[in-house]
Amino acid sequence: MSTIADLATLVARHVPRTGMVSTPIHRLSLFRADEPTVPLPAVYDASLCIIAQGAKRVSLGGESLLYDAAHYLLVSVDLPLVGHVVQADRDAPYLCCKIDIDQSVLADLILAEGGRAPKADLPALAVYRSDDDLVDAACRLMRLLDRPDSIAALAPLIEREILYRLLVGPHGAALRYMAVADSHLNQVSRAIATIRTGFDRPLRIGDIATAAGMSPSSLHEHFKAVTKMTPLAYQKQLRLQEARRLMLSGNTTASGAGFAVGYESPSQFNREYARLFGAPPRRDIEQLQLSGNLLTPV
């Protein structure tokens, strides 16, 4: 059976330098950092994050979680987190793999086992001690990168196994709750998906609530309980993060980025950008480009 050390070797081989890489396996991403990173906000997709080496801290509202090679992070819905690598150096870099959750496969597994979902609200973000079977499955998924002809046939099977092991683990109750159509976690997830699809357009709470199958007041209550922010604040963070990405890629100016993500007022964009990232757009981008220790959501 493969170990966490084997997973570290696999990630290091496929990510030889600091950064995040997508892979030919659609839901698998890899990350490496050779030094600690600065705390930065980002929206984390619903996913499983397994650290093979090093440690990272993530925060949601006032709650902060630390996880390392002995633990995994499970994000049940797309959440606006602040995260930073806290343990990494060139001799022992931070190494992590992220596996996005396929909600359709998750629902199919729950249906197949005939289990009932819990009635109460459960946390959408949690850290749990890793287990040998989960790590072994992640290693087998990683090894498919060396056998690209086998990815289409075998990757879905291993991803399904990984989801099954999560369902029978300590976070399984939250995953079951998330999959139930009328659960608050599922409804908030639908609201999040609607906001993310049209984040550059004016936010209409009535439309978001309808998509989620909730009343506007219930949407506000449960959205904030899960994400620690209002729907409007969530949209604002999406806009500002996309504007930052556009500027970092060198494709646009600050004013162009603001207009591209839906801001009509450059002054409002600059003000809200500085409030989230701690500096006006131009200075923030210059600092990030100089530091080189950018955070990506893994």
Q: From CA 3, how far away is CA 225, in angstroms rounded?
A: 37
**Fold type of domain 4-178:** Jelly Rolls (2.60.120)
The full length of the chain comes to 298
pLDDT of residue 11: 97
> Can you list the positions of beta strands (E) in the chain?
19-22, 28-33, 40-44, 47-53, 55-60, 63-68, 71-75, 79-87, 94-100, 125-129
Edge-first strand order for the sheet with 19-22 is: 19-22, 28-33, 94-100, 47-53, 71-75, 125-129
pLDDT of the chain along its 298 residues, tens only?
899 999 999 999 999 988 889 999 999 999 999 999 888 888 899 999 999 999 999 998 878 999 999 899 999 889 888 899 999 999 999 999 999 999 889 888 887 876 555 555 567 889 999 889 999 999 999 999 999 999 999 999 999 999 999 988 887 887 887 777 668 888 998 999 999 999 999 999 999 999 999 999 999 999 998 888 999 999 999 999 899 989 988 778 999 999 999 999 999 999 999 998 889 999 988 887 776 555 455 5
pLDDT of residue 121: 59
Q: Do domains 4-178 and 181-228 have the same CATH topology?
A: no
**DSSP-derived pairing of the beta strands 94-100 and 28-33:** antiparallel
pTM summary value: 0.85
Q: What are phi and psi of 31, to 5 degrees?
A: -140, 145
289 secondary structure, DSSP code: H
pLDDT of residue 185: 82
| Cα→Cα distances 250→106, 183, 236, 245, Å | 38, 42, 22, 9
Q: What are phi and psi of 132, to 5 degrees?
A: -60, -40
18 secondary structure, DSSP code: S
Q: Report whether 108 contacts 84 (CB < 8 A).
A: no
Closest CA to 105 of 186, 151, 188, 167: 167
| Cα→Cα distances 259→144, 201, 253, 263, Å | 42, 11, 10, 5
CATH architecture of 181-228: Orthogonal Bundle (1.10)
pLDDT of residue 95: 97
pLDDT of residue 176: 82
Longest dimension (CA), the chain: 57
pLDDT of residue 175: 81
Closest CA to 208 of 226, 237, 232, 240: 232
pLDDT of residue 263: 96
Question: Domain boundaries in the chain?
Answer: 4-178, 181-228, 235-291
Residue 87: other Cβ atoms inside 10 A: 18
CATH architecture of 235-291: Orthogonal Bundle (1.10)
